[in-house]
Amino acid sequence: MINKVRAEQWMRRPTGHGAKGTREYDGAWLDVRPDDTPDGHSNGASVLVARRHRYTGEVSYFRCFAPGDVALGTLVEVICRRRRIEETFQLGEGFTGLDQGQVTCWNSWMRWSLFSLIAAAVLALTPAATTAQPGPAGPPRLIPLTCPELVRLLRALVLPGAARDRDHILHRITWRRRHQAIARACHQQRHQLHDQP
């Protein structure tokens, strides 16, 4: 079905920001309204959205419905929210122990969930609050602080019983963030070279 989409119907759309910069995919859509819809009767926008990876050509399909007319960019934005929701669930389960509560009554379940969600909120908001403004043009220094790095910092500086000394952990975190910043710059440069005609 998607083989019928002509090359000029694919549109490049940003789908979010990752550790290496903005993710962009090519998107196209096909109208998939039923054939038995009466003339003059609109059932809204019922479309099949195809998302193609820029380099590998791998295509994902999403069946979408909206009560009125909707733009492809709006549909892509809604589709991409799924990834952010999944990442938030993984953050809550992996770093704050939301999935490890063994409770037998309502009150203990509420307390466990509340503390886990507060910890998840702190982990999500702290990197955003500590992100520095980009400096002058030049080689990248460090990427913004991420939730896993923030957990490592909290374990090293706040929680007792660290296996290694603090200087080693701080050096390792700085090295890892510098390495990721260089990887992001190279990834963005690759995008620019690939997009040139």
Q: What is the pLDDT of residue 137?
A: 54
Same domain as 81, residue 9: yes
Judge whether 60 lies within some domain: yes
Q: Give the domain extent around 115.
A: 95-130
pLDDT for res 122: 81
Q: Beta strand 21-31 with 59-66: parallel, antiparallel or unpaired? A: unpaired
Q: Are residues 102 and 157 in the same domain?
A: no
Residues 108 and 138 in one domain: no
Q: What is the pLDDT of residue 40?
A: 63
191 and 120 in a common domain: no
Q: Which residues of the chain have pLDDT under 50?
A: 1-3, 6-7
pLDDT for the residue 1 = 44
Q: In this structure, are 103 and 79 located in the same domain?
A: no
- Alpha-carbon dihedral 120, 121, 123, 126, rounded to 10 degrees: 180
Same domain, 102 and 150: no
User: Nearest-CA neighbor of 124 among 142, 144, 143, 146?
Assistant: 146
Do 124 and 110 lie in one domain? The reply is yes
Tell me whether residue 49 is in a domain. yes
pLDDT per position as a tens digit, 144-166: 777 777 777 877 777 666 556 77
- Of 29, 57, 85, the one marking the end of a domain is 85
Residue finishing a domain among 85, 120, 144: 85
DSSP β-bridge partners for residue 62: 49
Which domain-ending residue is among 85, 112, 141? 85
* Contact predicate 170/152, CB 8 Å: no
Is residue 47 a contact partner of residue 62, using CB atoms and an 8 Å limit? no
Instruction: Give the residue among 154, 160, 190 at the shortest CA–CA distance from 21.
Output: 190
- The overall pTM is greater than 0.75: no
Q: Is residue 65 part of a domain?
A: yes
Residue in 169, 136, 26, 15 with CA at minimum distance from that of residue 84: 15
Same domain, residue pair 104 and 169: no
Asked, for residue 90, whether it belongs to a domain, the answer is no
Q: Do residue 77 and residue 100 come from a single domain?
A: no
- pLDDT of res. 158: 74
Q: What residues form DSSP beta bridges with 22?
A: 17
| pLDDT of the residue at 2 | 46
How much is the pLDDT for 36? Answer: 61
Q: How many domains does the chain have?
A: 3
- Residue 3: the pLDDT is 44
- What is the Cα–Cα distance from 132 to 55, expressed in whole angstroms? 32
Residue 175 and residue 138 share a domain: yes
Residue 50 β-bridge partners:
28, 61
- 57 falls within a domain: yes
If asked whether residues 124 and 141 sit together in one domain, one would say no
Tell me, yes or no, whether 16 and 72 share the same domain.
Answer: yes
pLDDT tens digits, one per residue of 169-188: 888 889 989 999 999 898 88
Asked whether residue 179 is domain-assigned, the answer is yes
